[in-house]
Amino acid sequence: MTPTTETMVGIGGAAESTDMVLNIGPQHPSTHGVLRLKLVLDGERITRAEPVIGYMHRGAEKLFEARDYRQIIMLANRHDWLSAFSNELGVVLAVERMLGMEVPERAVWTRTLLAELNRVLNHLMFLGSYPLELGGITPIFYAFTEREELQHVMEEVSGGRMHYMFNRVGGLKEDLPAGWTTRARTAVADVRSRMDRFDDLVLGNEIFRGRTRGVGALTPQAVHAYGVSGPIARASGVDFDLRRDEPYLAYGELGDVLKVVTREEGDCLARFECLLEQTHNALDLADACLDRLAELPPGPINQRLPKVLKAPEGHTYAWTENPLGINGYYLVSKGEKTPYRLKLRSASYNNIQALVELLPGTLVADMVAILGSMFFVVGDIDK
């Protein structure tokens, strides 16, 4: 007799508790990049979340090993396309540290100025796009209006709109155009005069506050466990900012202007508030840098380099407070004209991991609010 197998299929009440796996993406949501979220749902509630990354991976860390120290600036420029100047900065600081190179004072202050202008450009994108993801379309138009004002001065000084390629090992590509500091000061003042649109229009909106207050709270313990940094970490009460705690460039002389913005709640609203208040402070820092540049005597903006630049054998780690968090470059040299190894620690890569802890237990409707408040660029995750 042929053996038979019996299968019992239950239908009815048991089916109601069946988990559903839902894929969010991969698609290209606005400018943040191609991300996929794999969610396990129990009804409308998320029980498990897994960010699936790698759709934009370029292998930049391996490409670093086949480019010389001038060419790698271009590769590092692109992973966070909203923070291009800051990305360049981390690379050149690492190489300069390996070389033991002193950078001219004008270059130090100009780098600090441009880094803060780049910070404002980065933050404005998220100040506009986050309300858009929650259904408010108006702020994105205001954000792009302010971005254009600053983009004009950044484009004038560097020649680029997104990928500035203005940093060089030893300083900057060239000196500032005649009259540029006056135009930059005017742009900063104009943007500052209209920032109350975000204070009033967004923070003053009861729908926005209802969608973000108490939603997606990230604990300080989770911040430390996942290596979260930047405005997201400070919104959870983690009071750490490299510009103040391990100063680089000219930040050591800007302690009276630099304000490290923190909140205790750790929710979506706190993250937005930190980002907005940090934008105000970046404009103040830019003004302080312009004041200092006006006092400096004429001088060089860079160091003269040999035709073939080689870093001595050894290793170093340089980290900077990028707009989205801590960016680190671990550089290993064998004394050649190319890095033996250049490892990138990007802010978005660590920040996005916290979704594994943030999303379970929340509603699908709140997933969009939480995801948008993490302020990431997917190219910065995938590298």
What pLDDT, on the 0 to 100 scale, is given for residue 4?
A: 55
Give the separation between CA 36 and CA 293, rounded to whole angstroms.
45
Q: Are 205 and 347 in contact (CB under 8 A)?
A: no
Average pLDDT over residues 350-378: 91
State which H helix or E strand residue 38 sits in.
strand 35-42
Of residues 282 and 377, more confidence is placed in 282
Average pLDDT over residues 108-124: 96
pLDDT(13) > 60: no
pLDDT(10) > 90: no
Under the banding of pLDDT at 50, 70 and 90, the label for residue 9 is very low
What pLDDT, on the 0 to 100 scale, is given for residue 14?
A: 47
What pLDDT, on the 0 to 100 scale, is given for residue 22?
A: 86
The distance from CA 348 to its chain's CA centroid, rounded to whole angstroms, is 7
Percent residues over pLDDT 90 in the chain: 74
Model confidence over 24-50: pLDDT tens digits? Answer: 877 665 556 688 889 999 888 999 999
Give the separation between CA 157 and CA 175, rounded to whole angstroms.
8
What pLDDT, on the 0 to 100 scale, is given for residue 11?
A: 44
Under the banding of pLDDT at 50, 70 and 90, the label for residue 204 is confident
Under the banding of pLDDT at 50, 70 and 90, the label for residue 379 is confident
pTM over 0.85: yes
Give the separation between CA 75 and CA 255, rounded to whole angstroms.
32
pLDDT(16) > 70: no
Tokens (6 digits) for 58: 């370029």
What pLDDT, on the 0 to 100 scale, is given for residue 173?
A: 93
State which H helix or E strand residue 225 sits in.
helix 220-226
Mean pLDDT of the chain: 90
Average pLDDT over residues 116-128: 95
Under the banding of pLDDT at 50, 70 and 90, the label for residue 17 is low
What pLDDT, on the 0 to 100 scale, is given for residue 12?
A: 45
